[in-house]
Amino acid sequence: MTKVHQYIFIFLASLLTFGCGEFYKLEKSTNWDELYEAANRYYDEGEHNKAIILYDRVLPVIKGSGKAELAEFNYAYAHFRTKRYIEAAEYFKTFFDTYNRSPLAEEALFMNAYSLYLDSPDFNLDQRSSREAVNAIQLFMNRFPESDSYERSITMIDDLQKRFEEKAFTESKMYYRLTEGLFPGDFYRACIVNFQNFAKSFPDSDYNEELAFKLVEVSTAYADRSVFDKKEERFEQALEFADDFEKKFPESEHLKDVSNIKSEAKAKLDDHYTIKEQYKARTAEAIRLREEEKKDQEDSEALKEEGN
């Protein structure tokens, strides 16, 4: 190592030691003005973790003073810059609730929503936090409809809605796969309800055609596997789903398949009607014969009584 390199190394080490020593002294200091200024300086220099530590010490002391507003705003942003989005969201909301007349209030409420948005998970995970983000974004949009961040908020809402849609579609496919198991009855019912709810929740989804086709498939299979007394009702429902599909998706690649399923369902329903009529006729005949037998028995007993 050359002497020049040695000097540079010693200089940098001195700066590091001085910096660490300075921060250590600040952590122990009770000079609140000095702490306040240092916290703001560290924040401005991008030393957000150090800023948070000092703000944690000074904020309870300066609370309610003229210095608190900027310190609390920086404190929230320091958490945001270090990707502690849940904490940042909480601090931005607290800032807005405390200083709702501040020039920084609009930004704070937006950052509350944006922090929750950034913390929201991928579509295949629990979406409860995403719904909290949607509520926060809508609150911001309602409170500041003229904001420059309004269009950005709409984009965030659209993205979150897409995650809800993907999550719902994944769940629908899961129910559909379960109908191929050993005990499909409950899953047939779950599929039918799930597919219908999906269409109500996401009427403009590109997935609606696929799920509407699967609804025809599942409802027909469900009717076919149902007990005799439920077949008529369920086949009629399956045919209604098929009619709805043909009306809503007249250009679908599934149209021919739906037509075939519909024809098979009608044939099975007609067979069911035939069996039902035959059953009614046999039942009526059995009742008639039983009544005749009963009458003959009563007449025979009456004759015996007359003979006695």
Q: What is the pLDDT of residue 120?
A: 85
Cα 305 versus chain centre, distance: 81
CB 238 within 8 A of CB 265: yes
Looking at 82, 102, 134, which one is the last position of a domain?
Answer: 82
- Residue 173: inside a domain, yes or no? no
CB-count burial class (<10 Å; 0-12, 13-18, 19+) for 109: buried
- Residue 168: inside a domain, yes or no? no
Pairwise CA distance, residues 21 & 41, whole Å: 16
What are the strands, taking DSSP E only, across 253-303? none
Say whether 111 sits in a helix, a strand or coil: helix
- Only one residue has tokens 């390199």, namely 5
Q: Which two tokens stand for residue 129?
A: 């936090």
The domain tally of the chain equals 2
Number of H helices, E strands in the chain: 12, 0
Which domain covers residue 76, as residue numbers?
11-82
Looking at 65, 82, 99, which one is the last position of a domain?
Answer: 82
Say whether 126 sits in a helix, a strand or coil: coil
Side chain identity, residue 66: G
Say whether 213 sits in a helix, a strand or coil: helix
Q: What is the pLDDT of residue 108?
A: 97
Handedness of CA 270, 274, 280, 283 (dihedral sign): negative
- Residue 202: inside a domain, yes or no? yes
Looking at 48, 64, 82, which one is the last position of a domain?
Answer: 82
Q: What is the pLDDT of residue 5?
A: 47
Exposure class string for 91-103: b at 16+ Cβ within 10 A, else e = bbbebbeebeebe
Q: What is the pLDDT of residue 189?
A: 87
- Residue 273: inside a domain, yes or no? yes
Q: Which two tokens stand for residue 282?
A: 């046999």
Rounded to 5°, the CA angle 99-104-107 comes to 115
Q: What is the pLDDT of residue 3?
A: 45
Residues lower than pLDDT 70 in the chain: 1-21, 23-24, 26-30, 121-127, 180-185, 296, 299-300, 302-304, 306-308
Pairwise CA distance, residues 200 & 73, whole Å: 41
CA dist list (Å): 106 to 99, 101, 102, 123, 268? 10, 9, 8, 29, 64
Whole-number average pLDDT of the chain:
85
- Residue 221: inside a domain, yes or no? yes
